[in-house]
Amino acid sequence: FTGSAFGSAAIWQYESLKSRVQTYFEEARADWLDKIRPQKRGDFRKQVNSWWNNLTEGQRTVTGIIAANVFVFCLWRLPGMRRIMFTYFTSDPSSRALCSPMLLSTFSHFSLFHMAANMYVLWSFSSSIVSLLGCEQFMAVYLSAGNV
């Protein structure tokens, strides 16, 4: 799994760089359109965009991870989902599902305090680690570390 995570991260990193180069040249050509295009309306949307644009790349990456963790945490609270959660979101060697829980358990927290502490620590070092490794390699490390 770890090899697949880092191999996928390398491909993602290459595609991301290729996309950024293409976007740069497309924006250079379409720059004159910005001057004639009408501005979007809505204060809430501007506030969200302003908040998002002020985040570092690491914080933007971790925001998605935090959202996934909160979503899975909420699923644990639904009584009808308990059987599915125990089967696919907890690593258990005696379970029928052996591979998917290795990935899905990285997003699973049963205790609110446990999740809050983990997400706080993740948020606090996200900027420095993503600037060091890059977004793609950080995701590979996160997914691989959850399988330990």
5: phi then psi, degrees, rounded to nearest 5: -65, -45
- Nearest 5°: the CA angle 19, 124, 50 is 55
Per-residue pLDDT of the chain in tens (148 residues, 90 and over written 9): 778 888 888 888 888 888 888 887 777 666 655 555 666 666 777 788 888 888 888 899 999 999 999 999 999 999 999 888 888 888 777 667 667 777 788 888 888 999 999 999 999 988 899 988 888 889 888 888 875 5
Asked if residue 88 lies in contact with residue 101, where contact means CB atoms within 8 angstroms, the answer is yes
Let me know if 89 is exposed, middle or buried by CB neighbors in 10 A (0-12, 13-18, 19+): buried
